[in-house]
Homo-oligomer: A and B are copies of this chain.
Amino acid sequence: MLLGDLGAEVIKIESPDGDHVRTQGTIIQGMSWYFASFNRNKRSVTLNLKTPQGKEVLRRLLVNADVLVENFRPGVLDSMGFGPKALEEINPRLVVGSVNGYGSTGPYASRPAFDFIAQAMSGFMSVNGTPESGPLRAAPPLTDLVAGLYTALGVLAALRVRDQSGKGQQVEASMLNGMLSMMAYLSAAQLATGKTPPPTGNDHPIASPYGLFRASDGFVAVAPSTTPTLTRFLRTIGLAHILDDDRFNTNAKRVERRADLNAMIDAAMQYRTQGHWIERLNAEGVPCGRVQTLGEVFEDPQVLHQEMVIDVEHPAHGVVRMTGFPMKLSKTPCRINRPAPDLGADTDTVLAEAGYSSSEVKALREIGAL
């Protein structure tokens, strides 16, 4: 999807029974909105890769391809006859991007992967949550998505190398490695001190005040990142005197008395709305914002202004509303070149482009290769 959004011509190869995401989530007029939002800008070709004829079609498609992206378990592509050597013989300019769970080598390489498991193994869950909740998964499939982002980035880097050297290569990213790379300062702290960071919930481990505070109609997130910002925050909510209070006049004391301080801030903010505080605090340069549900997000004026909600017409399935493009390019913007395809909708066209006659396509279909 990422490469397609950026303008690549993407052919999605599906087994004849189709990507199972086609049947997941809410189906409207025969279209899964989840499938639609992750399969925009693709064409769909069905291939039965268990047949020699299906494999031969794939081989012919790869001859002129720039990139193959695959997410089989390590070794599966090889066992199908498309290992690194075979692919290099088919097309030495091909860049092969592989997404997998744990990397293609090592003791866990052949384990089945799943976002939840990679969240657990990467350390992410150990710092997500609170001391009360214990280790906590995040709902979005972060490890899938991060692995996809790294794969796309590696593929584009390899394409530039290929443009210069004429030679393709293998590119790989895994859910475990990708998520581990997101642990950022938590990893640095672990490696530098040997001390395991605990789950901190909404508290900043070494700064106070910081967190969610109660306005009359919901939470406001406030992150006063520097002393001047903190001063402006407390002044705006009428608590400037706190900085002269012996119990709260250093960050260390404020961290120690975090609960007391948070209660004072809640008390000071509780009679005005989120909107009131967010306007006032932003005007003072204090980073803050509303804790939004997804329903609120998709009505947020900034989100709408940034075209992060788009309506895509799907012939025979109506308009599907989906998330827009997070990358904004001024001259070659991401856009919808085609909506998510029906299963196998482009098989005939793509095979014709690859030089198959209509009678050959018919014969392939009859033997179950498509």
On A, residues with C-beta under 8 Å from B are 2, 6-7, 24-26, 28, 32-34, 36-38, 84, 102-103, 105-109, 111-130, 132-142, 144-146, 149-154, 156-161, 163, 167, 169-174, 176-178, 180-194, 196-197, 199-202, 204, 210, 212, 219, 221, 223, 225, 282, 285-298, 300-303, 305-306, 308-309, 321-324, 326-332
Contacts and interface: CB of A to CB of B under 8 A. Distances in A.
A182 B128 CA distance: 17
Contacts of A302: 102-103, 106-109, 176
Given A117-B223, A302-B106, A326-B174, A33 B133 contact: no
B153 A149 contact: yes
* Interface of A: prevailing SS: mixed
A212 B135 contact: yes
Contacts of A300: 121
Nearest to A96: B330
Contacts of A138: 124, 127-128, 138
Contacts of A127: 138-140, 294
18 contacts: A28-B192, A34-B188, A34-B189, A107-B301, A112-B286, A121-B292, A127-B140, A130-B136, A133-B133, A133-B136, A139-B186, A154-B329, A156-B160, A169-B329, A170-B329, A172-B328, A187-B322, A196-B295
